[in-house]
Structure 1
Amino acid sequence: MVPRGRGKTLALGQVDANSMEDHRSQRDNEEETTDDPRKLKPGEIDPNPETKPARPDPIDMDEDELEMLSEARARLANTQGKKAKRKAREKQLEEARRLAALQKRRELRAAGIEIQKKRKKKRGVDYNAEIPFEKKPALGFYDTSEENYQALDADFRKLRQQDLDGELRSEKEGRDRKKDKQHLKRKKESDLPSAILQTSGVSEFTKKRSKLVLPAPQISDAELQEVVKVGQASEIARQTAEESGITNSASSTLLSEYNVTNNSIALRTPRTPASQDRILQEAQNLMALTNVDTPLKGGLNTPLHESDFSGVTPQRQVVQTPNTVLSTPFRTPSHGSEGLTPRSGTTPKPVVNSTPGRTPLRDKLNINPEDGMADYSDPSYVKQMERESREHLRLGLMGLPAPKNDFEIVLPENAEKELEDREIDDTYIEDAADVDARKQAMRDAERVKEMKRMHKAVQKDLPRPSEVNETILRPLNVEPPLTDLQKSEELIKKEMITMLHYDLLHHPYEPSGNKKGKPVGFATNNSEHIAYLEHNPYEKFSKEDLKKAQDVLVQEMEVVKQGMSHGELSSEAYNQVWEECYSQVLYLPGQSRYTRANLASKKDRIESLEKRLEINRGHMTTEAKRAAKMEKKMKILLGGYQSRAMGLMKQLNDLWDQIEQAYLELRTFEELKKHEDSAIPRRLEVTLLHCSIA
């Protein structure tokens, strides 16, 4: 029977059975059989070729396939590298040596020979066996049984491999990626457009454009304005002549059209002159001098570019925009043209041909100067021009007025400061801190001087009204007419209103508690103050005038004191009068104004009190929030001290309790000692008596 169920075909099973039977017969016969009838002879065909292992046929393969097959065989054969093979071989040899030594020791021990294994002596200190430089304390006579010692509580969780190795880079990157995903998710929920820009890469770094540097213009704004003015004047004169009906040749010649450029002429923008690279020219000269031939050959010298020896570095050529003012079409040359009479006393100038393609000059009235177009190659023309310029200069000097010896020197504002600074010795270098302190002192002095010129209410930072009530002024043309005293009072009121407008415009009042908001007078339109000050200008007085006014007020105060028969008022009396006056003023929230309390109705008083209550509640809420913030800040600042103080107080109370307990015990033992001292003699007598009886 052929065994089945082993995952083999019938032919393979037969082959295995035959091989096992052959081995059995060989063991029985103790001889080898060389002739196997089942082996194929040369020329025979295998009846069961499917049982043989598949082998590639190298004859039918290409060179690439053969090379690939050989590489595959080499890879399959070499499952380990050279280093791995060497390590495995060394490990195997070490294991063989260990087993041999172990077997040898066992055999010697069985024979009764004990061999001590020699331990390799370790140089230095064995930290696993002993404590280096240990000094054992001497045995003392103190009891250490009740001493507290700290037990060893090793934290083995921190001795794991991952804690010893530290955090891996991959773990850190993974955690950062998770954080980025969460951040991007939250950003998408809150700000989707910026998240889309961030993910799409639009917000990546873009190259910053360099600044556009253009050459300096050759025509200034003033020259352009002059050209425009000349053209406008000519156009206005020409239109006036046309409207009046004057159409003769003289008018048409003198009033030529300067407005529109002739479209029949092709205008071209002139190009800037070609610049020359001085550094490149010098480099070419240096290369030419380096590669020069021997002078024995003779001939010409090495051709070089023209160099500028005016400085160490080559001169740079400044590129400028060509002057297009002088390229105006229809300009009539003053000399050399046909049909025109030359200027008296001058030699006709030859005609200078313009560059082909250049726009012709448009100057029929010869307005533009011709110095830029002069032909200086003609010596006679140059001499004539110099003669005319000298004559023109002489006539101009003759027209000057006679000189006067009256001079008026006006020093600038900061001349005194500059002179003081120049008086300082140049060799002395002042410290920067001293310079800053001096400048700060000067700024403070200027600020104090400026503050003294302001009004008293601004100097003392007193509360000022946010709106100006101009209805307090009384009209002048009333019946009966105002007296002189009333007119003076109205003038004082008018000046007061002007001062209020000026202060609200230049120095608006900012309350101390209004840090985040705008000033009180800021809501008022400044145009109202500006309009009032235009009709009623604010006049600034000098220091002497203010001093005189102060003296007049002091004199008037003395007169009032004598007339009212009282001396200097004390602060208590002044405060009492102020409180009485302030109590007579009532604010009406419905009308947003103040009035006298005796003139207000009951409803107005109730509204005023409600408004005051609301304001007080607002102040109370603000102060409560401020106190809560300060309390929170102080708790953060002093929390540790408070907890420490509470702990110390608790320790102090415990110590006091211990002291009281110890004091009670002391008194108790003292009383016991007294009783024992008094009882000891009696006990001794009784004991001696018993001993004598016995």
Structure 2
Amino acid sequence: MASIVSIVGGHGKIALRLAALLHPTHKVFSIIRTADHKADITAANATPVIMSLEDHSASKFTEFFEATKTDVVVFSAGAGGKGGPDRTKKVDFEGAVKIFDAIEGVKDAKPRLILVSAIDSRDVNIVPEHYTPEDIEAAKKAHEGALKNYYHWKYQADKDLVKRTAFPWTILMPGGLLDDAGKGTANIGRTGLTHHTVTRDDVAATLALLLDRPGAAGLALNIIGGTTPLKESLDAAIKERANAWSMVRIIIKGGVWKNTEDEVLKAAIAKYGKNQWARISSLLVRKTPKQCKARWYEWLDPSIKKTEWSKTEDEKLLHLAKLMPTQWRTIAPIVGRTATQCLERYQKLLDEAEQKESEELGLAGPGDEAGPSADDVRRLRPGEIDPDPETKPARPDPIDMDEDEKEMLSEARARLANTQGKKAKRKARERQLEEARRLAVLQKKRELKAAGIIMRHKTKKKGMDYNADIPFEKKPAPGFYDTADEQARQTTAPVGQSLRRLENKRKPEEEDAERKKRQRRNADGKGGEAPHQTKFVAARDAQIQKLKEAESIGRRRKLVLPSAQVGETELEDIVKIGQAGENAKALVAGGSEAAGRLLSDYEGLERAKMARTPRTAPQQDNIMTEARNLRNMTIQQTPLLGDENTPMHPGLGGGTGFESATPVHNVAFTPNPLATPLHPSSDAISATPRGDPSMIGATPLRTPLRDNLSINPEDQISVVGDTPREQRMRVNSTKRALQAGFSALPKPENNFELLVPEDEGEDESDERQLSVEDAAERDAKLQRLREEQERREVARRSQAVQRGLPRPANVDLDGLLRKLKLSDAEAIAEADSAAHLIHTELAQLLEHDAIAHPIPGTLLPGGTRSSYSIPEDDTIAAAKAAVQAEIASALGYPTANEVQLQEGLATLAQQEEIIESHSWSAIRQQLLFDAKTSTWVDPEELSEEERIAGLSVLLNRSRDTMASEAQKTGKLEKKLGVVLGGYQARSRALTKKISDTFEELQRTKLEYESFSILRTNESATGPRRVSALQEEVGGLERREQALQRRYAELDSERRELESRISGLEDKVMAEAEALNEAALAEMENEA
């Protein structure tokens, strides 16, 4: 129940009525604009607060909500359409938005908002489906009348509110308000506009009911007059989620993730990568880039561990939380989990520690008296919004999806499967260029390799090489067992596989094959009905099954066991010490009494061997201890208050420590009840300041230990007196007793006797199984035994069964013996003969094979047992050895081994086959075939007709054989044509190439011989032509030199003439100038 309510616009008529209703059970703050309305607010039993929506900022309202710890804010302010368009906008829209921002600015628990709006607040272009023609006409008059601006700005405020997700809100839209007395009845929810008036008393009562109904969050409810009680009508509207929104559907970014959104996100990341979150979010109309990125890194990333937390992870988490409080982004990669997982696990451990303390102190009451648990407190209430939906599992998709979701899936499918766009074509060109570059490099490597140059250049691949590396690989620690067989199976060479098969199909080829398959399916109509629009292309069922199996296997928690305190070497030493003591006692068993006293009898310890091993103390739990310490540090007060220090629980070995980022592990051990008691150290934690340090942790006056040889020193606990004087007296008494014992020893005798120990046979029945055999080794051993047993059983079978030779399906033992003449009196008389024994054994063996290993066509019923007794392996081996010796002696090689005998028998069989074939051919020439009896007989026994009939049968058989063989040959020719067609074409091409090369070789040889003859001729005539040319060149050089000299002479003569001409020209010019000057002088004189 809300206890503190702040009413914005507290001087309104509905606000005053609401304050009066809430007075007994709620503390009400009414926010008013001026101090003139204080008296009215006080009369309504509310606290007046002077703050103006027009003048104060949103931060001031935030400070007021935080200071008063407001639980619910009721916005009832409004100009009512009387203050003009500007004031209506300033109060009804801007003032409402200011309150929305102020609520979002509250740091702690944000208050809930109830907004009082107006009925039919909607977009005028969209008509609700439930409106009747009368409602539409009434709405048109209202929106075009005097309240046009009022409806517009109320709609803008409502539209801004529905986008907010930081706090829960509810919109109440009353109809025409009346000042009449309240009726206590109304129609709430999705209503029409006929009879749309309602009293202000009923609206105030509905607001009072909404204060205690958080399930109404996210609803916009109409309220008009009606006959249903207010409480029943309001509860029905909340249950049915009867939203009265008439505005354009506004998509709120965020919310719970669905399966379709997860699949679209994974497909988009596979195409666009993990950096283009804005492009990825464009495929999801309800999600922002930040939410898409958080969903991937908090839930969908395959490297995220979703298994149960182990004890080691819990210990590391608490230790890091102690070192770096609230730094979950830093702690998460060290622990190997996400930050949200670390925070949730940390809170759960603290809750368990708190619950355990409450149970120990008896604070949790039984039954209904028990308080809410931590899970109940953190559980979301109806109407509340999950702050971290990215870390939760996806919600199943509904059967009937919204139109916007269907449109989103269609657009995502089209964009992700687009292969004709500019980017897809550019990517295809890049792939082709990359493939051409790869083939060029490969060709270059092959050419260099053919030339003897080996390139060792290692190309750097983009991303991870999935052929060489394993993504998210975590190598297990080496164990005690040999895994060479498993590694050999994993690294088996792919013999007999082509390179094309190993490389698999490339991405463009897979896309082309998938597109062709889809086109073929659509053309043939095999797809049946059109696929549903919401169906998304997912992975194959086999891959999904593998992922489920891997996830189920990953849920198994590891078995964490403490390391062994006593190793194999220590156990062997203990056994040897015990055997040495027993051997020493056996040696002196018949000696003197003095020697026997030195070896006391400790056989009483045998009774302790069957004692149950106590387990480690359960109270030493470092994880729970660290959780309690962290909880105490979380709830502690500031040190400035001067309270006591935070109580800390010491853990085993000092807890996890502060030395490093990893916790200090204390090895758990099992206490040994047979160990010799040691004195605890004086600085033990459990030591009491008072008392003797030697008695720390011990029980006084306990039963004395049985120690005949005084191996264990006195612990001063088994005796009463413990004063220093009594201790000295006891020590002196012990010394004197020891000296007296030594003095009473007899003189030594130098008599020695050597006793050789007898080898005692090991009694397997008395041996104890010190360790449990490994399951893998046991299974391997049993598998080897089964294989050996099967091999022996197969070896015991006859050679006809082992080799799969033809044998009769049904064997009549008596009839077979009669045919072999072994059942009459003559056979009985010759019972000792070897032939009789061989034939009898042969007949029994045939019958046994027909029963034990039946073949198709047998007439024996199932379950028939053979009376033949299979010989033992030793008997069979002896018989084989005797047969081998007899064969060796018969062949003339008594010392030959089995291989040599087989070679000799094979040679002998070939010779006998040749002899039999020649002898049969010779005999056959003298016989004719009888068609009636199908046997070869003497020609004299057959008539002419019988001879012709026999030859006809042989001819028909030969023709049938020829036809069948011809048919088989045709099939083989076709098969060989398919198999060898390429090789034949290649052979023809190579043959043509060889012939062309040979012809070119002949032509080149002819040219070579021609040029050789030409060279011989030129070597003889060449020097003469060269000398003639040299003489001609020498004459030309001499002539050129003479001409050059003549040219030099003429050139010098030319230059001399040019100089003379230039001198004469200068003389002529001087004379001309002198004449001009003389003429000028005469002219001047005349003038």
The TM-score, its normalising length taken from structure 2, stands at 0.20
Which structure has greater strand proportion?
2
Larger Rg: 1
Q: TM-score, normalised by structure 1?
A: 0.29
Q: Which has the higher contact order (CA 8 A, sep 6+)?
A: 2
